[in-house]
Structures are given as structure tokens and as C-alpha cells.
Structure 1
Amino acid sequence: MTPHPRAARLMAEAAGTAFLLATVVGSGIMGETLAGGNVAIALLANTIATGAILVVLIAAFGPVSGAHFNPAVTLVFRLRGEIGTAEALAYAGVQIVSGIVGVWVAHLMFEQGLAQVSVHVRSGPGQWLSEGVATFGLIMTILFGIRARANVAVMVGLYITAAYWFTASTSFANPAVTIARSLTASFSGISPADVPGFIAAQLLGSVAALAFYRGVWGNSGKPDTRSS
């Protein structure tokens, strides 16, 4: 199949990441509004919406850009030699910017102030370990899912749905998501001061997952062309 032009791939990454963040933040606002103070119900609403939109976005944009929507995923595919350095940097830049746009769109839809800063503290060893584990699991899901020729969109959606609940951090597992969520004062936010710790843990988790995959499968076989 002929690859899509770079502009088309970047447009797909932009649209997918923006919709992902609009869903994460928008469903958080809606869940918190309707849950009547029940945090578990608000988190459940946030979880279901996020897992569902991931299935849709990955299935829709995977054939165009690989549907990374995540600089950690892009890093892994760069390390695997399946995307060049210039394009990887372009992907990451687009993911970060469009993630912020998605947060702003969610604010506007719920008639909230556009510019916000989170005060939601998410820090400490448990949170950092959670993000490392969450990202390790996400990358493992993607790589082993591709290898097995499974439905990666469904696998990723289900994994994130589960990881929202089994990790103390609620599984950000994505540097672009982490940066964007620092710019919302809503339920799903993270304090800007806590962003570097999350991103460091996410990058370490992604590299560890790639090393694990290579330990199992080695470097044999043709490069995979799908992702999440």
C-alpha cells in the first residue's frame, strides 16, 4: 500500500490526539458534574469514554498515520527504525499541540474558561511507578498485538480501560496527554509541577517495554507498520 503523504499523516495525528484529549477532559467534566460528588462514578464515566474513543480513533486513523497519538509510542517506533527522526519529531510536536487544542475545545464545549492550570497533585513514588507500569503495559499491548495480528484498536482500548483502575495514577501513559492535562483545572488535571516526573516514568516504561519485546522476539521479522 502506498504510504500517505506526510501532511496527511500529521493531520491524522493532530485530529486523533485532539479528539482523545477532548474526550478525556470533556468526559471528566461531565462525569464530575453528574456524579454528585461520587468520585468512583466520575472516574468510571471518564474510563468508559476514554477506552471507547481510543478504539474508534485507532481504527479510523491507524491506516493513515499508525495512530500513535502519543510521543512515547512514536519514540518506540523510531527506535525500531520504522519512522525517521524528522518525522518522529514532527509527530511529537503535533501530538503535544493538538492535545492542548483538544483540552481547550472541551473547556469551550462546557462553557468553561479557556486558559486553566491544574492544581491536582499527582506525585510520589507510587504515582511514578504507576506511570512506568501503565506505559510499559501500553507499549507491550501494541507491539505484541501487532505481532499476533490482533485487533490493536480493541486491545489498546481495553488495556487503557483496565489501567485507569489498576494504576494509582489512572494511567496517563502518554507525554502529550500529560502536558495537555496540566492545562485543565477539571477532574482529569495534573499539576504542572508533577508533569516532568510523569513523563520521565512514561519514557522509561516505553523503553523497557521495547527491550522486553526484543527479549521475547528479537529483531527478526519485517518491521511492523501498525501501531496505536
Structure 2
Amino acid sequence: MTFTLSRRLTAEFLGTAFLVGTVVGSGIMADALTEDVALALLGNTLPTGAILVVLITILGPISGAHFNPAVSLAFVINKTMPVAELAPYVIAQIAGGIVGSLVAHAMFDLTIFQMSTTVRSGTGQWIAEIVATFGLVGTILAGIRFRGDAVPWLVGLYITAAYWFTASTSFANPAVAIARGFSDTFAGIRMMDVPAFILAQIVGSVLAVIVLTWLLRDTKDAQ
């Protein structure tokens, strides 16, 4: 199937909006229902992994279901996405993410326009974002190569796991990081901490492309 660029950008906008809406909304709900931080994080984790399976399954055939500038960048680097489409995809993803945050606030009767005050900074956080994004992009590239039909589940399960094994709770997505900067809730991140997260995510994405390009090269392909 072939879809126009406008339809693909709309899919990226909607997908990222629903993704961030789920992250922020489930964080608000979890924080309201329990004072146990671990339980609240679990309540934030499971919906995020679940919605990724749904969104990638239904929107993947339209736009590729990137919902993530780091993923779009990886596809440009490995030449499976035109360079000219990178900026439009990133803009759609960031816009969708911000709208997702604002709608989540509206659903829970919170102040719609917010700026996060949650500090997320430090070497451990940045290393965690490199690792989280490396793993996400690696999962996608290897999944496409070996089990394309399983990519929605692979990504959903990877993010579910990465919430818990990374110090940053695995943002692994510049659009999500920016959008969460507009939410002073459980899922928020102080806006001044966002640039370092984005830089770490780009590093993780580029490293994943380099390593996986080598790792996935079949002997016959190398000849």
C-alpha cells in the first residue's frame, strides 16, 4: 500500500499524540490512585507498552509508525527513508506529542498548559537514554529483518522492560521528551533537561544503526 505524505504525517501526528497521551494520562491516573511510587510506575508502564502494540499495528502500514524522531533518523541513515521526509516527520511527531500532553491534562481537569518542574539530569540519566534508544532502534531494525509481523509486540515489550531497567525510565524519543516537558505531572521532565536527553537519544540511535548494520549483514550480502 502507498499513502500520500499528508496521510503519513497525519498518522505520525495521531500516533505520537496517543502515545504521549497514554504516557501522561496513565501517569496522572496512577499518581492519583496510589502513593506507592513503584506501583505508580507500573501503572504508567503497562499502558505505554500496550498502546505501542496497538498504534504500531494500526498505523504502521500507513506511515511506518515511527512516532519518534530518533527512529526516523535511523531510517534516514540506513537509507530506507528519504532525507526530505525527515523534517516533516519530526515536526508532525513533536506537534502530536505536545497535543497529547495537553489533551491528557484536559481529560483529568488539570491546567492544560503546564511546564514541568521535575528534574531529570545527570550522567546516569544520559547513559540510560543512550542505552534505551540504542535498544529501541536495534529492536526495530532486527525485528524488521527477521520478524516484521512481530515488530508491534517487540517494541511494546521492549519499552515495557526498559521502563524498569533504565535509570531514566526510557524516554528514548525526542518528541516524547519535549512533550513531557509541557506536563508538570508524574511523567514530566524539566524543559531545561530536555536537550541533553535529546542529544543522548540521537547518539543511541546513530550507534544502533552502525552496530546493527554490521550485525545484520548476511555473509551473502557482504560478497
* Greater share of helix: 2
Shift, 1:137, TM fit: 0.3
- How far apart are the structure 1 equivalents of 2:41 and 2:165? 12
- In the alignment, what sits opposite 1:225? none
Shift, 1:3, TM fit: 1.4
Give the letter for the 2:142 counterpart. F
CA spacing shift, 1:184–1:221, aligned 2, 3 Å: farther
Q: Provide, for residues 47-85 of structure 1, a one-character-per-residue CA deviation record: whole Å limited to 9, x for no partner.
A: 000000000000000000000000000001111112212
Counterparts of residues 38-187 of structure 1 (less than 5 Å): 38-150=36-148, 151-187=150-186
- Between 213-222 and 11-20, the greater mean CA deviation after superposition: 213-222
Helix, strand or coil: the match of 1:195?
A: helix
Give the letter for the 2:125 counterpart. Q
Shift, 1:220, TM fit: 8.8
- How far apart are the structure 2 equivalents of 1:175 and 1:216? 26
- How far apart are the structure 1 equivalents of 2:122 and 2:113? 27
Query: Any stretches of 5+ residues in structure 1 without a counterpart?
Result: 223-228
- How far apart are the structure 2 equivalents of 1:76 and 1:216? 15
Shift, 1:216, TM fit: 1.0
Is structure 2 residue 209 aligned with structure 1 residue 210? yes
- How far apart are the structure 1 equivalents of 2:129 and 2:220? 30
- How far apart are the structure 1 equivalents of 2:72 and 2:142? 16
**TM (normalized to structure 2)?**
0.96
Shift, 1:8, TM fit: 0.8
- How far apart are the structure 2 equivalents of 1:33 and 1:187? 10
Q: Provide, for residues 79-122 of structure 1, a one-character-per-residue CA deviation record: whole Å limited to 9, x for no partner.
A: 11122122111000000011000000000000000110111100
Shift, 1:219, TM fit: 8.8
Shift, 1:181, TM fit: 0.2
- Between 2-11 and 165-174, the greater mean CA deviation after superposition: 2-11
Q: Matched residue pairs, number?
A: 220
- In the alignment, what sits opposite 2:5? 6
- How far apart are the structure 2 equivalents of 1:173 and 1:6? 25
Helix, strand or coil: the match of 2:168?
A: coil
Give the letter for the 1:212 counterpart. V
- In the alignment, what sits opposite 1:30? 29
**TM (normalized to structure 1)?**
0.94
Stretches (4+) displaced over 2 A: 217-222
Contact 2:13 / 2:96 at 8 angstroms: preserved in 1?
yes
Over aligned residue pairs, what C-alpha RMSD do you find? 1.4
Helix, strand or coil: the match of 1:82?
A: coil
